[in-house]
């Protein structure tokens, strides 16, 4: 059984999770552009904002995106009910035609 010990592990680049690298690069680039180029702040602010964004992303996607974001979507409440079928195509029929037809089908 030791042959497949790495089968269920996630990919890593050194100590960093492999699926987090590209979002971190995007977060760092966006924070660099806005903080350094648009607002003209120093590198300390770029690193701080980038670290905050990376940390937030890591916390939100720690066990997978579905772990956090799945809580925001409520599960459907299924109820079994017996309801009379109402056809959309025969919606314009008068009430008397419906009652005549249902009496004819019963007898």
Does the pLDDT of residue 107 top 50, yes or no? no
* 53-to-17, 26, 27 alpha-carbon distances in Å: 16, 10, 6
Give the structural domain span for 11. Answer: 1-73
Q: Is 100 inside a domain boundary? A: no
pLDDT tens column, 65-103: 666 667 777 777 776 667 777 777 766 665 555 555 555
What is the reported pLDDT for 95? 56
- pTM of the complete model: 0.54
Domain contains 98: no
Chain Cα centroid distance, residue 26: 19
Identify the bridge partners of residue 13 per DSSP, sorted by sequence position: 16
Q: Tell me whether residue 82 is in a domain.
A: no
Q: For residue 53, with 0-12 CB atoms within 10 Å meaning exposed, 13-18 middle and 19 or more buried, which class applies? A: middle
Averaged pLDDT of the chain: 77
With respect to residue 87, please indicate whether it lies within any of the assigned structural domains: no
Domain count, the chain: 1
Max mean pLDDT range (2-6, 52-56, 65-69):
52-56
CA distances to 18, 22, 92 from 34, in Å = 26, 18, 60
């Amino acid at each position: 059984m030791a042959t497949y010990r790495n089968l269920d592990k996630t990919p890593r680049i050194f100590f960093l999770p492999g699926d987090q690298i590209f979002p971190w690069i995007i977060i760092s680039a966006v924070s660099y552009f806005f903080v350094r180029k648009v607002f003209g702040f120093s590198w300390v602010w770029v690193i701080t904002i980038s670290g905050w964004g990376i940390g937030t992303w890591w916390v939100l996607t720690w066990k997978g995106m579905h772990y956090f974001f799945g809580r925001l979507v409520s599960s459907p409440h299924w109820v079994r009910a017996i309801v009379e079928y109402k056809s959309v195509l025969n919606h314009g029929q008068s009430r008397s035609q419906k009652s005549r037809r249902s009496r004819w089908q019963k007898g």
